[in-house]
Amino acid sequence: MIDVEDLIALVHNYNPRTNADLIRKAYAYGMRVHEGQFRHSGEPYFSHPVAVAAILTEQRLDDATIITALLHDTIEDTKATYSEVTALFGEEVGELVDGVTKLTNLQLSSTQSKQAENFRKLFMAMSKDLRVILVKLADRLHNMRTIKSMRHEKQAQKARETMEIYAPLAGRMGMQWMREELEDLAFRVLNPEARNSIIRRFITLQREAGDVVYKITADIRTELDKAEIDADVYGRAKKPYSVWRKMQEKELSFSRLSDIYGFRIITRSEADCYRALGVIHQRWRAVPGRFKDHISQPKTNGYRSIHTTVSGRDGKRVEVQIRTRQMHEVAEAGVAAHWSYREGVRANNPFAVDPARWVARLTENIDEDDHDEFMENVRLEMYTDQVFCFTPKGDVVQLPRGATPLDYAYSIHTRIGNSTVSAKVDGIRVPLWTRLKNGQSVDIITAEGQRPQASWIEIVTTGRAKAAIRRSLREEDRGRFVKLGRELARGAFDHVGRKATDKALRTAARMLGLADEIDLLARLGSAELTVRRVLETLYPELTQASGDVVDSRRPLVGLGDDQSFRRAECCLPVPGERIVGITYRGQGVVVHAIDCPALEELEDQPERWVDLNWHAGRHAPVNTVKLDVTISNDAGVLGRICTLIGEQKANISDLQFVDRKPDFYRLLIDVDLRDLEHLHMIMTALEAETDVAEVSRHRDARRKP
């Protein structure tokens, strides 16, 4: 464990004005409250907070962050309280320690909805003070460095969490060195065989070709000296995980993989960066498409550097990064550079970004109610690289790699995105799904009345665009459902001699626990609610007396008198579901459920589509539905299942065993029933049966309509 004076010396190296007494006080307090606690390795527990503090000194962080690292587990794991920590070390440290404690309690790898909720809390903590995340990342880094002492299953859980959450978060913050180390430590746990294989191949390569890194570094230094450019040159082989990921993405073997070495040139000025680039390209052949200028177009986390890939010694591809010393400090510390100290004062690095603005950009336009959408946006923001495009006026628009003109339009304004009809890139009209490249000029063409289409979701890549499109589609769908629901309600009410007035619908909505009549109509139109349910709620005496009023030979509204029909075998729709008819020559009209995959092949033949609805009222139990049921292989179970279906006033017309196992049978049961509500009653009754492992509606998209 690092001694307190050694820790103070590490801080003193970059901050001679450090409050050494306060660090000593925090060190002594942490050691006292953690006394008697030990890590899985058998070491005193306090060795961990000290190691976390030492990691943060590498980022040259302020005293408050270093002290927070020393105390970050005190509120969580000892008798220390927030009030006591605040009284002893000040409100700033108290808030930071409390923030880290709350993050520690978040289970980021739990269920999807819980994970989304916890990610919101994580980003909320980031927005208050980003130093909380810096301490948490250093905490995770040390835990991963010492993970071998944990149980195997705990190692795997921590490694997955690190790979999915903490490593990309570190990368998004610009702390690339930490991202690479976290990924490699997790890779060592999750796939040790692959990692060892790559290391062995590096050793073999070095044995065959000598120290390639040293040779290429010497070559670069020689060329820079000739041009009288004062610069430092560093080289290294890329981390095993980085190499393995590239092998997976490009589906290449190690022997065919290029670009496994990286080199950095640290110059004294920005002008020297471009001079060094000229020297590199004059000496070695540049690889087309592998040049990025992040000096003129910096990333959102402040990263600036020139990237180029060249064919170096013996034809080996090598990546060269060129930047100034100040740019390098931001490249190493990322957003943390905002708090870096030098010679006792906050470093005035012109390239460090404002953390508050960075977090605001990261989390903008995230829908509070949609867990899946939130998680999708988080992952999009965490993993994307950047491209830079220009407006017609020459302003720069920053977008993730793979962005399209639609993403560009939504980044300008949601109104522009929603009304986009086409786009021009560098003056040429292009499809909306075109992937934008660095330096292109984009001009969006809009039209009044244009609305987003469902297919746009697959075209865009940014969370902002996806959220805006989904919001617009929901509003548009709701309007269409309300209109359809009103027609369904009018027809059903007329059938029993009543009027579907707003007052009647409002009363039904209140009795059904809905917000208002508009909500009721929307649910009718989307088939979440049946008109029969509404009528039964308002007029139970009328619906009970009506009996089986629907003629099973003509159960549909929208067919001509001379048109025959049949239900599609692929989806077998039942009354209560939204449907559409498709005309077939010599076969009449085939009725499909509105979500049937078979309809995709007919989208370009609108003349064959027939608008259909089910007649309101009680339908006869003649509509066959196929159920996929898995039951336990015990005496009498099948008999009980058949009895259960019969008790629901449904008839079994066919039964087929599709899988027999020692413990379970899987079978397909054809059940004749009335409507969608009847189907739900039967499935609910089956699901409640102890010996039923699983039940679902079976639809076979491969069957011909």
Residues 6+ apart with CB under 8 A from 255: none
Q: How far is CA 129 from CA 55, 64, 337, 506, 556, in A?
A: 19, 12, 14, 48, 62
Domains 198-346 and 565-705 share a fold: no
Distance CA 246, CA 653 (A): 55
- Over residues 409-455, the pLDDT tens digits come to 998 888 999 999 999 998 899 899 898 887 788 999 999 888 888 78
Asked whether the predicted pLDDT for residue 94 surpasses 80, the reply is yes
Q: What is residue 60's three-state secondary structure?
A: coil
Which one is catalytic: 77, 184, 223, 443? 77
Pair 607, 551: CB distance under 8 Å: no
Distance CA 439, CA 453 (A): 28
Residues 6+ apart with CB under 8 A from 373: 366, 367, 463, 466, 467, 470
Which one is catalytic: 43, 58, 76, 477? 76
| Half-sphere exposure of residue 499: CA atoms within 13 angstroms, side-chain side | 3
| pLDDT for 110 | 46
| pLDDT for 562 | 79
Q: Is 223 assigned a catalytic role?
A: no
| pLDDT for 369 | 47
pLDDT-derived band at 259 (thresholds 50, 70, 90) equals low
- DSSP per-residue letters across 341-392: EETTEE---TTPPPHHHHHHHHHTT--SS-HHHHHHHHHHHHH--EEEEE-T
| pLDDT for 367 | 46
- CATH class label, 4-190: mainly alpha
Asked whether the predicted pLDDT for residue 66 surpasses 90, the reply is yes
- Evaluate the CA torsion angle 163, 164, 165, 168 in order and state its sign: positive
Cβ neighbour number for residue 200 with a 10 Å cutoff: 11
| pLDDT for 222 | 92
- Over residues 126-148, the pLDDT tens digits come to 656 778 888 989 999 999 999 98
- Over residues 340-371, the pLDDT tens digits come to 655 555 555 566 655 556 566 555 544 444 54
Q: Where are the domains of the chain?
A: 4-190, 198-346, 565-705
Distance CA 581, CA 589 (A): 6
| pLDDT for 323 | 93
| pLDDT for 178 | 87
> Whose CA is closest to 418, among 454, 457, 472?
472
CA–centroid distance for 434 within its chain: 22
Using the structure block, give the residue that is written with the tokens 């040429």: 428
pLDDT-derived band at 546 (thresholds 50, 70, 90) equals very low
Pair 539, 493: CB distance under 8 Å: no
Pairwise pLDDT comparison (234 vs 384), residue with the higher score: 234
**CATH code of domain 198-346:** 3.30.460.10
Asked whether the predicted pLDDT for residue 578 surpasses 80, the reply is yes
CATH architecture entry for 565-705: 2-Layer Sandwich (3.30)
Average of per-residue pLDDT values in the chain: 81
pTM of whole model > 0.85?
no
| pLDDT for 232 | 92
Between 98-107, 332-341, 577-586, the lowest mean confidence (pLDDT) is in 332-341
Pair 44, 37: CB distance under 8 Å: yes
Q: Is 562 assigned a catalytic role?
A: no
Cβ neighbour number for residue 272 with a 10 Å cutoff: 20
Using the structure block, give the residue that is written with the tokens 């986390």: 301
